Amino acid sequence: MKKIFLLVISASLSLMSCIVYDSVSCMGITNRTNDIILICSSKYNNIDSVEYCFGFDVLPIEFDDTKRMMINNDDILVLPDSVGRYCEREFRRNFFRYNEDNKGYFFIIKLETVRNYTWDEIGKNKLYETLIVTREMLKENDWKIAYP
């Protein structure tokens, strides 16, 4: 009986050592404008490298047949005086460690612009604002950023 008990304990400890613990840290970007905005993130300072937009949720960007951005979920819209949450899997708030220059690039686009222009027009005519964030900025501002 003791051998079975020890075997069960040993197996349990072995399985527990295989569990990978992953932490997620988030920062907030507060929309201080009167517009509904989308905040899109990128590893590079280039709007064509954007893959995701976030608000309450994080979703990949999608386009329709005309290259207009599709808004299928209101959770990526950031209302005036609301906060969009950008999160990364990381350790000890080491944001942007996967970006080549350790900066975060955020492209802020008004919902009105998204509805009236194609993605190509938004990029070509620079119908967006760029917010570049460093870890130092985050530390100084208690892990929060206000836009603008």
DSSP assignment of 56-98: SSEEE--B-TTSPBP---GGGEE-TT-EEEEEEE-SSS-TTTT
| 5 falls within a domain | no
pLDDT single digits (tens) 90-146: 765 678 888 889 899 999 999 999 999 999 999 999 999 999 999 899 989 988 999
Q: Provide the number of structural domains found in the chain.
A: 1
The pair of structure tokens assigned to 116 is 């009236």
Nearest CA-CA partner of 110 in 52, 33, 16: 33
| Alpha carbon of residue 96 to chain centroid | 11
Residue range(s) defining the domain that contains residue 95? 23-147
In which band, very low, low, confident or very high, does the pLDDT at 67 lie, cut at 50, 70 and 90? Answer: very high
| 51 falls within a domain | yes
* Average pLDDT value for the chain: 85
| 45 falls within a domain | yes
| 52 falls within a domain | yes
| 15 falls within a domain | no
> Diameter of the chain by CA atoms?
76
pLDDT single digits (tens) 108-124: 999 999 999 999 999 99
| 68 falls within a domain | yes
